[in-house]
Structure 1
């Protein structure tokens, strides 16, 4: 009995995951899109997701863009690293009926904390799933561009608004620019970018990623 391959049958998608060995391939429907949705819902860049899962950034990118099918070993790393259950990865969330009745309120200081070495993120509107935008308030802790080691880049577009303090806004194809309270920027997230506080206190910004 133990020599027989085991299968995970997923209804409605006719999906089978062969678990006979670690080289078994997973052929799900739009798995890459689902991985990307989960990663963005946790406000993770590809670099951050790579560190959590132990998968190379290039591998994650290829999975999300449906360029490769992950091995079962890679799927296991995704599940463990992203802190989700296996069914969450393979089952699309139920779509909300209608789009005009959704609402989420985040009281001051009650967002979900998500600290990184360079930023102190506070995720907002975390009770809504399948958002088209990801809003968050961030305290910029980095004081030098070298604190990043490499450019921050991820899918989508981003809007940045400075609430307090001053930041130096670094982007891959432009000269660094000083942004002060009330200033804003809109840019392509696939272009390398990074923020550095240059005011006496750490600067605070609002970010919206789409």
Structure 2
């Protein structure tokens, strides 16, 4: 009981915002992440991989969580069991992590399917190829008195709308939803969707689209 209390006090004394990772620690985390992702991709349990490498389940868990630095022999055993080149386990180390800051009013206006109906699209940022396997496209969409309803859109991925201003009746499949400021709509964008009626203008809403990254 006392040990548990001491552990709790230690956790509470740590600053969650402190940057504690050193170069070596980053490498451990990168290797651990690769091992876990490759194992899950191959539908292997921790016990399966531990048995194939001669490691204990506890030791494998520490490696996957970046707690310890595995020896080169252990890394080689893991690569062999996962059927990948040894260097692949280092592939996540020190890779750049993208970030984009767009100031107010500086989103890039681009053309999309609804442009010809008077829908204005402002791309709020873009990160190219990344390790997440997901592409995210954030837009600010503006509808004015010069806008018209568009038949419907249809594309792969998941989309989320967040209403900022105005009122719009928005169709998704066979359903129509009234969107007012503060409302959110999350949906599979492979179904036909789009503004059905423009009730109160101007209308502005965020549209965030995610879909798998093509290798």
The interval holding the TM-score normalised by the smaller chain is 0.3 to 0.5
Structure of greater Rg: 2
Name the TM-score, length of structure 1 as normaliser: 0.47
Determine which structure has the larger helix proportion and give its number: 2
